[in-house]
Amino acid sequence: MKWFLIFWAGPIVFLAGWYWLSYYDMNFGIFMLSRQVHDLTFQIYGKVLGIPPETIPPLVARAIAIDSLVVFAIIGFRRRKAIAAWWRARQASKSSDAALPSKDSLSSAP
């Protein structure tokens, strides 16, 4: 499971880092992080896909969000027994706490 999360989060962090650094032209002398490469990349993808380059970043963000939901659903499904046990223990502790008298009712006793 650890490797699954690493291989899921790694490309997302890499893409988000590149996008943010190149968008704000923080290139540190590296040509790949320049704004020129950023604009050229989205122009090429726009021509290949036949859509305006400005629409690509929101589409990518939406795809990442949906993929993340799928990943967390897989993790939740794989750990459903542990999650159910945690939920039952939590509910049991809440109901046992409700059965105990509160501090205010103990201090007001004569």
96 falls within a domain: no
106 falls within a domain: no
Q: Whole domain around residue 33: which residue ranges?
A: 2-79
27 falls within a domain: yes
Q: What is the pLDDT of residue 35?
A: 93
61 falls within a domain: yes
**Domain count of the fold of the chain:** 1
62 falls within a domain: yes
Taking the chain (110 residues) in runs of 10, the rounded mean pLDDT of each run is 87 95 92 93 96 95 95 90 90 74 54
100 falls within a domain: no
What pTM, to 2 d.p., does this model score? 0.70
Q: What is the pLDDT of residue 43?
A: 97
**Pure H helices in the chain:** 2-23, 35-49, 56-78, 80-99, 103-107
Q: Count of alpha carbons within 13 Å of 77, Cβ hemisphere only?
A: 6
75 falls within a domain: yes
71 falls within a domain: yes
Q: For residue 19, give the nearest of 5, 7, 9, 32 by alpha carbon.
A: 32
